[in-house]
Amino acid sequence: MAAYPFQQKPLHLPHSTKPATPIPDRLGHGDQRADAVSASLRQGAPTDARGLRALIKALSASSGATAAKEAAAAAVHAHAAKLGLDRERTVRNGLIALYLARGDRAAAGALFHGFPDGRDVVSWTAMVTGHARLGFADEAVALFLEMAGGVAVDAVAAAAGFAACAEVRDLALAREAHRRVAAAEVALDVVAWNALVDMYAKCGDVAAAHRWFRAMPASKTVVSWNTMISAFARAGEHGEALALFREMQRAGVRPDDATLVAVLGACAQLGALDTGRWVHAYMRMRLGRREADGVVGNALLDMYAKCGAVDQAVAVFDGMARRDPPPPPPPRGEVRNPSIRLPESIRPQKGPLFMPLRPMPSIQQLTGPLR
């Protein structure tokens, strides 16, 4: 058996008399991962569900769609069908998720609808999440409402449904999704709670979002606080956003970049320069960030500029420029893409890089005298 070009170890399956096909521990990325899966199939793929799930999981972990990945997905599915394992629930659910990760809704739908008696909460959730991720939020919401009408929903499914409703931004659908989850007496985890708050906020009912934020268990995470702070900021309730940030500080929750961006945006809208300066000092002293960068740097720069603190805005800008020096220019006669070269006739020529210019007309000559 040819060796894989990466580290591997045999995968011993239960009730086997010999090691199954080696499943690589490190499959690389992109097409390399797809090629590894195809090689496993060619060299004697596993003959049970556990081995197939390992191959499906390895292929699903590689995002994007290429010819190699499509071929590997089709090969895994064909091998599962040959063994009759495409009807095995965990394998089928894995294939549904795999096809949706590849963007193939038709293949995923054929598997999902082909075995109506074998669909469970995992397969339904895969369909909801996959459609939402591909930008088909309306279909995702319809699937979730159908699911919640006849399948036992869990916290993971509830979070997926709430997230899909947040994308659709239809308050009536959001309320119906919440009603069905509540009727099923689903025990929400913190991820589902966060999705619930975000759903109401993005559907325009900030009061309901705040009410359910307050109803959350004591285990609020930084994402919980960020969701509600951002909801207030998007709704123009900047004072409420800052008040909630202060409450977050008292609760001992460490802010992250999303928190800082939302709070600095609220400061910019309110002209709350003192609070903005406090956030900047907090970043330097408590978070150890002497210079702001990225989206936080832009938010800080915008806050100082809108609050009229021009000198501090310039200082932030200079600090960002020091952290992000411009890339070096390309070699003479070449552009950024090394596979493209300019023809000799338009390449820079040696010699003085100047030419005589005619005097430019004045503004008065162009527009006439100022009145």
128 vs 21, residue with greater confidence: 128
Above pLDDT 70, what percent of the chain?
Answer: 71
Q: How far is CA 44 from CA 30, 47, 86, in A?
A: 22, 9, 18
Q: What is the pLDDT of residues 348-358, one digit of tens each?
A: 455 444 444 44
pLDDT at 290: 66
pLDDT at 117: 75
Q: What is the pLDDT of residues 46-99, one digit of tens each?
A: 667 887 787 788 777 765 666 777 777 787 788 788 878 888 899 999 999 989
pLDDT at 212: 98
Q: Which of 44, 42, 35 is nearest to 62 (CA)?
A: 35
DSSP-based three-state secondary structure for 198 = helix
pLDDT at 325: 52
DSSP string, 10-39: --PPTT-SS----EES---STHHHHHHHHH
DSSP code at position 8: E
Averaged pLDDT score across all residues of the chain: 79
Q: Helix crossing, 257-270 with 238-250: angle to 10°?
A: 140
The neighbouring-strand residues paired with 8 are 24
> Tokens at residue 46, please?
């596993």
Taking 50 as the threshold, does the pLDDT of residue 12 lie above it? no
pLDDT at 320: 82
Taking 70 as the threshold, does the pLDDT of residue 102 lie above it? yes
Is 123:112 a contact under the CB 8 Å cutoff?
yes
178 vs 35, residue with greater confidence: 178
Exposed e or buried b for every residue in 5-39, given b needs 16+ CB within 10 A?
A: eeebeebebeeeeeebbbbbeebeeebbbbbbbbb
Calculate mean pLDDT across residues 234-262: 94
